[in-house]
Amino acid sequence: MAAIPVNFLILFSFVALLFSSSHGQLSTNFYPTTCPSLPVIVHGAMTKALILDSRIAASILRLFFHDCFVNGCDASILLDDTATFTGEKNAFPNARSVRGFEVVDTIKLLVEASCSGVVSCADILALAARYGVVLQGGQSWTVPLGRRDARTASQSDANSQLPAPSSNLSTLISSFSAKGFTAAEMTVLSGAHTIGQAGCENFRNRIYNQTNIDPDFAITRRANCPSTIGSGDRNLAPLDVQTPTRFENTYFQNLVDQRGLLNSDQSCSITDLKMQWFRHIVKTMLSF
């Protein structure tokens, strides 16, 4: 089956809608007069960034998701620690992991040069995530704008709210349910892992100790991920080994074939979850 771009409207429209309430009324036509060049600036900057770093689209998408999942899409993940709060950047799920801050900073400088004091960092991050996906072959989607940037951030909230790569199914369902997502929506959202990479420390246990994994896939991944904790922890492997830089539907076929790299991804697999909604989701995503 040929890989076909996933309809990202299905994947992340949930994020834009469910997290919008914490920012007041959003609009798809928020900056037409105050910053009409915004889309062109963000698209151009992401195009240049992707030429320099093939991982950056996935990194920005992850940055956006980690921001939104902790108290809404308010750019709080971008804030450095201050004397009054310890922020999200160095929370356990983010430390040594989230990246792309410098790209957001660059885009912000370009936007400020064109329309100073108008566009929030939260909106810039949301647009950058969209254009990153589009530039890697994914379909575009409408981004509601008008978010306001947070003035504070909470490391403890990030530690407690963000799901871990090792999470099992019940933990994942609980985490996403707390944010207003159904189990089916959670599974669809996991399709964002069609691009990006993970460090050995995040999938070591899966490739050495779990049984719901394709043996050949496990052997391949072990070649660059030693079994000893602390050895090669940051060695990277693609989340989707077939098309790691293309946003399409092979991620879901990988789950069916027990080739999900992370336990949190494979926990949504048809082997572990004998539920009709999962079968329907996979069939739908593979039919695009």
Domain count, the chain: 2
Whether residues 37 and 84 fall in one domain: yes
Q: Please return the burial class of 117, using the count of CB atoms within 10 Å of its CB with bins 0-12, 13-18 and 19+.
A: exposed
Question: Rounded to an integer, what distance in angstroms lies between the CA atom of residue 241 and that of residue 251?
Answer: 9
Whether residues 156 and 229 fall in one domain: no
- Is pLDDT larger for residue 19 or for residue 116? 116
Question: Rounded to an integer, what distance in angstroms lies between the CA atom of residue 19 and that of residue 21?
Answer: 6
| Token output for 166 | 């090792």
Whether residues 270 and 207 fall in one domain: yes
Is 131 within the bounds of a domain?
A: yes
Is 101 within the bounds of a domain?
A: yes
Is the pLDDT score of 277 beyond 80?
no
Is 90 within the bounds of a domain?
A: yes
- Whether 266 contacts 272, CB under 8 Å: yes
CATH number of the domain bearing residue 130:
1.10.520.10
Whether residues 181 and 139 fall in one domain: no
- Whether 60 contacts 100, CB under 8 Å: yes
Q: How many CB atoms lie within 10 A of CB 70?
A: 26
Sign of the CA dihedral with 162 first, then 167, 169, and 171 last: negative
Is the pLDDT score of 19 beyond 80?
no
> pTM for this one?
0.89
Whether residues 112 and 150 fall in one domain: yes
Full 3-state SS string of 192-216 = HHHCCEEEHHHHHHHHHHCCCCCHH
With H, G, I as helix, E, B as strand and everything else as coil, classify residue 130: helix
If pLDDT is split at 50, 70 and 90, which confidence band does 25 have? confident
Whether residues 14 and 148 fall in one domain: yes
Domain boundary among 118, 134, 161: 161
Is 1 within the bounds of a domain?
A: no
Which residues contribute to the annotated binding site for Ca(2+)? 67, 70, 72, 74, 76, 88, 194, 240, 243
Is the pLDDT score of 229 beyond 70?
yes
Which residues contribute to the annotated binding site for substrate? 163
Is 210 within the bounds of a domain?
A: yes
Is 3 within the bounds of a domain?
A: no
Whether residues 181 and 225 fall in one domain: yes
Q: Which of 23, 43, 66, 280 is catalytic?
A: 66
How would you classify residue 250: left for phi > 0, otherwise alpha for psi between -120 and 50, otherwise beta?
alpha
Active site residue 66: yes
Whether residues 151 and 267 fall in one domain: no
Quickly count helices (H) and strands (E) in the chain: 13, 2
Is the pLDDT score of 18 beyond 90?
no
Q: pLDDT value at position 267?
A: 85
* DSSP code, position 236: E
Amino acid at 269: S
Which residues contribute to the annotated binding site? 67, 70, 72, 74, 76, 88, 163, 193-194, 240, 243
Which residues contribute to the annotated binding site for heme b? 193
Question: Rounded to an integer, what distance in angstroms lies between the CA atom of residue 184 and that of residue 165?
Answer: 18
Whether residues 16 and 156 fall in one domain: yes
CATH number of the domain bearing residue 226:
1.10.420.10
Is 126 within the bounds of a domain?
A: yes
Residues 6+ apart with CB under 8 A from 246: 3, 136, 137, 194, 195
Whether residues 69 and 154 fall in one domain: yes
- For residue 103, the enclosing domain spans 8-161
Is 2 within the bounds of a domain?
A: no
Mean pLDDT check: name the lowest of 83-87, 131-135, 165-169, 279-283.
Answer: 279-283
